[in-house]
Chain A
Amino acid sequence: MDRLDPQLEDRERTPPFGELRIDRTSEVPVYVQIRDQLRARIERGVLPPGAALPPERRLAEQLGINRSTVLAAYGALKADGLVGAHVGRGTTVLAPPLPERGDEGAAALPWRELVRRGPASREDPVLRDLLALAERRDVVSLAVGLPPAELLPVAELAEVQARLVAERGAETLLHSPTEGIASLREALAARAAGWGMRATPHEILVTSGSQQGLDLIARVFLDPGDVVVVEEPSYLGALEVFRRAGARLVGVATDGEGMRVDLLEGLLSRHRPKLIYTLPSFQNPSGEVMSLARRQALLALARRHQVPVVEDDPYRELAYEQPPPPPLAALDGAASRPLGSPSGSANGVTIYVSSTSKILFPGLRVGWIAAPAEVIRRLSLAKQSADLHSPTLGQWVVERFLREGLLDRHLARVRPHYAARRDAMLAALAPAAALGVEWTRPRGGFYIWCSLPSALAPSRLLTAAAHEGVAYLPGSACFAEEPTGGHLRLNFTALAPAELREGGQRLLRALGTALTTAAPAWRASGSGTRPIV
């Protein structure tokens, strides 16, 4: 059905698509221009319900643009519920959601009024486009936060899984306690004890990934308007959770030793925050480690001001040189309790959040929290509302990997690979120094953090990188407030060294382009929402 509705052509003298205008000099991406013009026509009734949009290929030819741009525009209209795509009928304008019946029938639902007035969804279109870009096969993506698929211990897992089903049968498929299966909580407590933490098993809560841990902490601690102190830069998924809970984020600068604790005291007095959020070991996104002295100073301040510290620590076991200092949660317990007192972390100020997603299998969604029992009790109640419990089989799998030494064996195997990948990435970046780019040399974790020279607009680099076929996480997403300079987060674990070198070369070319010329705009539309981790 290529033809427009004849009725429509009667009503409108000019064909409705004849006047679409593309302004190539505009800052507005081409697909947005098309989307907005089509949307205006639909809303004015120029394109009534049932009218067919031209096939993408034809409109692309007519306007002299790429078909994917038209696809993106149609996709955006579809996402807004204005058009629908049907096999055999192409893309057609949908009827507005009006009731069929008469006089007192309701109009389309006023969704804007129906959803919460509270903190709105803050969807960053740049990030979305970027993730769509990272999905493209011809793109080298340094934007992800993944362990490499080819190094996952899949065969071991298959063996463990078969054994679990044989030994425990339906139990692995049944409901399990909200706090997590007891044996896993014991194994996690034992592992934490190895780092000097004294959490007992009942001070451990298993979560559906550490993202849920952060979400639960936000619901238990934060009311709208509360302040959370965060490092700058910080993990963007945590910033998102805190913002959504209605919190105001106050950033504290970091350097090569982690959080600038010397700046913290003033912030604590001035803002009276509800929480301090830190990633002290191989931070996401900077890769930096907080020094022992800073850790102790941070704890002393938190205790004095009675502010809980949320310690997000999923990268601790990915040390490629020497291990990081003990967790805050370990130092906290040791300092706050007289020697010989019962174990447990009842007097601590630290809420320790971790995950097996970086060291084992992200898809299992098994994370955990260690905190004083009073806090765990409340987090458990919140978790019960959130999802009852985490998947049972995944918990048993992690329990086996911990207890049978499979995790340690896996870590020993992958660490040298990750170290080699980091070195490959660092080597590939070396020429960028001449362009004024600076970066961290992480001793563990997943990421390298680059700072751009002030002359280089981050948006211009993003465009150039898209054209070169390389993706990264733009640093602006990692700040409490819009940062002054430009930054990039580069992942070095997901890709093999050769791919990293290729990605590095593309990035260098993009840097060169961005520093010298203005590049044309690029946008994409995605097929699914990839979590950014």
Chain B
Amino acid sequence: MHANLARRMDWLRASDIREMLKVTQRPDMISLAGGLPAPEIFPVAELAAAAARILAERGEVALQYATSEGHVPLREKIAARMNRIYGTSFQAAEILVTTGSQQALDLTAKLFLDEGDGVACESPTYLAAIQAFDVFHPRWVEVATDDDGMDPDALAAALTANPHLKLVYVIPNSQNPSGRTWTLERRRRFMEVVARHPVTVIEDNPYGEICYDGEPLPSLASFDTQGQVICLGTFSKTVAPGLRVGWMAVRGALFGKLTILKGAADLHTSTLGQLVLDAYLDGGTLDENIRRTCAVYRERRDAMISALEREMPPGVRFTRPSGGLFIWLELPAGMNARALLPRCLERGVAFVPGGGFFPNGTREDTVRLNFSNMPVPRIVEGIRRLGEAVRELATGR
């Protein structure tokens, strides 16, 4: 059947993440490779109670077909939460519930991208977004990004040089993979730049509430005067990933178009998952659970940073994220992370080589480290082994 496949499928490359997860399933492996939240922090008992309540009281609704837009009370809660935390002004009618935020990326790509259309992104950017968009053969424009966020002058230059750019995809809060959070000033200037161009901004925000130092900063959408920003959100990091409930907040005429695409993709998102989440949110323990989660992750982040300071040889640079799940590492000049990986796997520690996070594939001297999924002693030991491997490779042994 090979010959019958659509031509666009030739572009799909085997996923780095997929290959990686195979190795990390070994129980003795210290995995700093995944992007997973820590399972022990999920509110399992509360979700189970919410599910039991839903099934007892409204089982017939929870298990039937439902509208493509999503469960209305849940959409109301999502809008209210976004508006409260991120200074936006979305209404429930502007929230489209999706099967995880991955589906939101997919629907976005389906709606906007024809072959050769331009997509601007931070450099590096989220691997699964690259994959979701790559299915539609876009042209990627990587925009210089530093510890304060995307460089607005570089973005302005990119938009001027590429008049056919359709989307700007960004993760301003504790980005995956870099861990960087944009400053308030950069957010303002970013919006000033994009407002002068007919592009749509996809603001992906899975980690905004996973915030260890201070409060989350306002969403790009809070500066948006033209309905130019589409916000993506998810409960995968704050409640549980297996529920597969995410959303997109969209103004104006695009909402209807996305709803039609959503219906064609899977009719609607699991009703049970939506109602369970809605009931869980009614319980009012989400904020408390997020606080608890952040306390656990903060300790792990701190442990990883001090281990990195201790173990890494000179020439290694790394980010100090204020939230999220990842630290980004730049290896000494000339060192290739793909060459480093086998030496680390031998030592029983795994990470994701950073090259895959650059859609145009330029930087192989980078590493993404996850700190949320391993207890502190394992993190400390993992970084010790990583430091050993880096030093060994640097001295050419």
Report which A residues bind B (CB closer than 8 A). 79-81, 97-101, 104-106, 108-111, 113-118, 121, 123, 144-146, 149-150, 152, 154-155, 157-158, 161-162, 165, 169-176, 178, 207-209, 211-212, 215, 219-223, 226, 237, 240-241, 244, 274-275, 306-308, 349, 357, 361-365, 372, 374-375, 378, 381-382, 384-394, 528-531, 533
Say how far B91's CB is from chain A's closest CB, in angstroms.
9
Quick one: CB contact mask for B99-139 with A, threshold 8 Å, 1 for yes? 11011011000111110000000000000100110010000
With a cutoff of 8 Å between Cβ atoms, the chain A residues found around residue B12 in the complex are 378, 381-382, 385
Is B272 within 8 A of A158, CB to CB?
Answer: no
Is B268 within 8 A of A170, CB to CB?
Answer: no
Please judge, given known A-B contacts A114-B112, A121-B260, whether A387 and B6 are in contact too, CB under 8 Å: no
Cross-interface CB contact of A374 among B1, B7, B59, cutoff 8 Å: B1
Q: Name B102's closest neighbour in chain A (CB-CB).
A: A388
Cross-interface CB contact of B260 among A123, A169, A390, cutoff 8 Å: A123
With a cutoff of 8 Å between Cβ atoms, the chain A residues found around residue B272 in the complex are 361, 363-364, 391, 393-394
B314 within 8 A of A: no
B18 within 8 A of A: yes
Please judge, given known A-B contacts A176-B242, A533-B267, whether A387 and B99 are in contact too, CB under 8 Å: yes
Q: Name B43's closest neighbour in chain A (CB-CB).
A: A173
Say how far B239's CB is from chain A's closest CB, in angstroms.
8
Say how far A102's CB is from chain B's closest CB, in angstroms.
11
A97 to B252: give the CA distance in the assembly, Å. Answer: 10
Q: Name A172's closest neighbour in chain B (CB-CB).
A: B242
Is B114 within 8 A of A116, CB to CB?
Answer: yes
B85 within 8 A of A: no
Is A363 within 8 A of B62, CB to CB?
Answer: yes
Please judge, given known A-B contacts A215-B264, A382-B135, whether A220 and B195 are in contact too, CB under 8 Å: no
Is A384 within 8 A of B114, CB to CB?
Answer: no
With a cutoff of 8 Å between Cβ atoms, the chain A residues found around residue B301 in the complex are none
A104 to B195: give the CA distance in the assembly, Å. Answer: 10
Is B226 within 8 A of A146, CB to CB?
Answer: no
A207 to B266: give the CA distance in the assembly, Å. Answer: 9
B2 within 8 A of A: yes
Is A118 within 8 A of B264, CB to CB?
Answer: no
Report which B residues bind A (CB closer than 8 A). 1-9, 12, 15, 18, 36, 39-40, 42, 44, 47-48, 51-52, 55-56, 59-69, 72, 98-100, 102-103, 105-106, 110-114, 128, 131-132, 135, 166, 192, 195-200, 225-228, 240-244, 251-254, 256-257, 259-261, 263-273
Is B39 within 8 A of A170, CB to CB?
Answer: yes
A79 to B254: give the CA distance in the assembly, Å. Answer: 10
Q: Name A529's closest neighbour in chain B (CB-CB).
A: B68
Is A223 within 8 A of B242, CB to CB?
Answer: no
Is A393 within 8 A of B263, CB to CB?
Answer: no
Cross-interface CB contact of A362 among B64, B241, B264, cutoff 8 Å: B64
A365 to B65: give the CA distance in the assembly, Å. Answer: 9
With a cutoff of 8 Å between Cβ atoms, the chain B residues found around residue A241 in the complex are 264
A386 to B55: give the CA distance in the assembly, Å. Answer: 28
- A-B pairs with the 3 shortest C-beta distances? A363-B271, A392-B242, A154-B59
With a cutoff of 8 Å between Cβ atoms, the chain B residues found around residue A220 in the complex are 5-6, 9
Cross-interface CB contact of B111 among A79, A116, A307, A382, cutoff 8 Å: A116
Is B266 within 8 A of A223, CB to CB?
Answer: no
With a cutoff of 8 Å between Cβ atoms, the chain A residues found around residue B5 in the complex are 220-221, 378
Is A362 within 8 A of B63, CB to CB?
Answer: yes
Is B52 within 8 A of A158, CB to CB?
Answer: yes
A375 to B63: give the CA distance in the assembly, Å. Answer: 30
Say how far B81's CB is from chain A's closest CB, in angstroms.
20
Say how far B242's CB is from chain A's closest CB, in angstroms.
3
With a cutoff of 8 Å between Cβ atoms, the chain B residues found around residue A349 in the complex are 1
Q: Name A365's closest neighbour in chain B (CB-CB).
A: B270
Is B68 within 8 A of A173, CB to CB?
Answer: no
Extra inter-chain contacts (9) besides given A144-B65, A308-B4, CB under 8 Å: A81-B227, A111-B252, A111-B253, A114-B166, A384-B128, A391-B99, A529-B259, A531-B263, A533-B65
Is B69 within 8 A of A208, CB to CB?
Answer: no
Is B266 within 8 A of A211, CB to CB?
Answer: yes
Q: Name B109's closest neighbour in chain A (CB-CB).
A: A385
A388 to B18: give the CA distance in the assembly, Å. Answer: 11
With a cutoff of 8 Å between Cβ atoms, the chain B residues found around residue A393 in the complex are 51, 242-243, 272-273
Q: Name A362's closest neighbour in chain B (CB-CB).
A: B65
A154 to B63: give the CA distance in the assembly, Å. Answer: 8
Cross-interface CB contact of B225 among A100, A154, A307, cutoff 8 Å: A100
Is A365 within 8 A of B265, CB to CB?
Answer: no
With a cutoff of 8 Å between Cβ atoms, the chain B residues found around residue A372 in the complex are 1
Is B242 within 8 A of A175, CB to CB?
Answer: yes
Please judge, given known A-B contacts A111-B253, A362-B64, A394-B273, whether A378 and B52 are in contact too, CB under 8 Å: no
A169 to B102: give the CA distance in the assembly, Å. Answer: 24
A26 to B213: give the CA distance in the assembly, Å. Answer: 64
Q: Name A151's closest neighbour in chain B (CB-CB).
A: B60
A154 to B62: give the CA distance in the assembly, Å. Answer: 9
With a cutoff of 8 Å between Cβ atoms, the chain A residues found around residue B242 in the complex are 172-176, 391-393
Say how far B169's CB is from chain A's closest CB, in angstroms.
14
Cross-interface CB contact of B244 among A97, A100, A121, A391, cutoff 8 Å: A391
Cross-interface CB contact of A146 among B1, B65, B196, B200, cutoff 8 Å: B65
Is A391 within 8 A of B253, CB to CB?
Answer: no
Is B266 within 8 A of A209, CB to CB?
Answer: yes
A215 to B225: give the CA distance in the assembly, Å. Answer: 35
A387 to B269: give the CA distance in the assembly, Å. Answer: 10
Is A169 within 8 A of B44, CB to CB?
Answer: yes
A391 to B245: give the CA distance in the assembly, Å. Answer: 9
Is B200 within 8 A of A109, CB to CB?
Answer: yes
Please judge, given known A-B contacts A165-B51, A173-B47, whether A387 and B244 are in contact too, CB under 8 Å: yes
Is B69 within 8 A of A528, CB to CB?
Answer: yes
With a cutoff of 8 Å between Cβ atoms, the chain B residues found around residue A392 in the complex are 242-244
Say how far B265's CB is from chain A's closest CB, in angstroms.
5
Say how far B232's CB is from chain A's closest CB, in angstroms.
13
Say how far A83's CB is from chain B's closest CB, in angstroms.
12
Cross-interface CB contact of A173 among B241, B257, B259, cutoff 8 Å: B241
Cross-interface CB contact of A154 among B9, B55, B65, cutoff 8 Å: B55
Is B243 within 8 A of A146, CB to CB?
Answer: no
Is A106 within 8 A of B69, CB to CB?
Answer: no
A306 to B251: give the CA distance in the assembly, Å. Answer: 46
A510 to B397: give the CA distance in the assembly, Å. Answer: 87
Is A115 within 8 A of B257, CB to CB?
Answer: yes
Q: Name A349's closest neighbour in chain B (CB-CB).
A: B1
List 30 A–B pairs whose Cβ atoms lie within 8 Å, in order of A's numbering: A79-B256, A98-B226, A99-B226, A110-B198, A111-B252, A115-B257, A116-B111, A118-B114, A157-B63, A170-B240, A173-B240, A173-B242, A176-B242, A221-B4, A221-B5, A275-B4, A357-B65, A361-B63, A363-B270, A363-B272, A365-B99, A381-B9, A382-B12, A382-B135, A384-B18, A388-B128, A389-B244, A391-B270, A392-B242, A393-B243
Is A386 within 8 A of B270, CB to CB?
Answer: no
Q: Name B59's closest neighbour in chain A (CB-CB).
A: A154
A533 to B268: give the CA distance in the assembly, Å. Answer: 11
Cross-interface CB contact of B264 among A149, A226, A240, cutoff 8 Å: A240
Say how far B160's CB is from chain A's closest CB, in angstroms.
11
Is B4 within 8 A of A274, CB to CB?
Answer: yes
Say how far A182's CB is from chain B's closest CB, in angstroms.
12
With a cutoff of 8 Å between Cβ atoms, the chain A residues found around residue B9 in the complex are 219-220, 378, 381-382
Please judge, given known A-B contacts A105-B196, A118-B114, whether A81 and B252 are in contact too, CB under 8 Å: yes
With a cutoff of 8 Å between Cβ atoms, the chain A residues found around residue B197 in the complex are 106
Is A530 within 8 A of B65, CB to CB?
Answer: yes
Please judge, given known A-B contacts A349-B1, A531-B267, whether A219 and B135 are in contact too, CB under 8 Å: yes
Is A391 within 8 A of B273, CB to CB?
Answer: yes
Cross-interface CB contact of A365 among B132, B252, B268, cutoff 8 Å: B268
Please judge, given known A-B contacts A146-B65, A175-B36, whether A158 and B56 are in contact too, CB under 8 Å: yes
With a cutoff of 8 Å between Cβ atoms, the chain A residues found around residue B198 in the complex are 106, 109-110, 113-114
Is B227 within 8 A of A97, CB to CB?
Answer: yes
Please judge, given known A-B contacts A109-B227, A393-B272, whether A173 and B264 are in contact too, CB under 8 Å: no
Is B270 within 8 A of A109, CB to CB?
Answer: no
Is A173 within 8 A of B42, CB to CB?
Answer: yes
With a cutoff of 8 Å between Cβ atoms, the chain B residues found around residue A121 in the complex are 256-257, 260-261
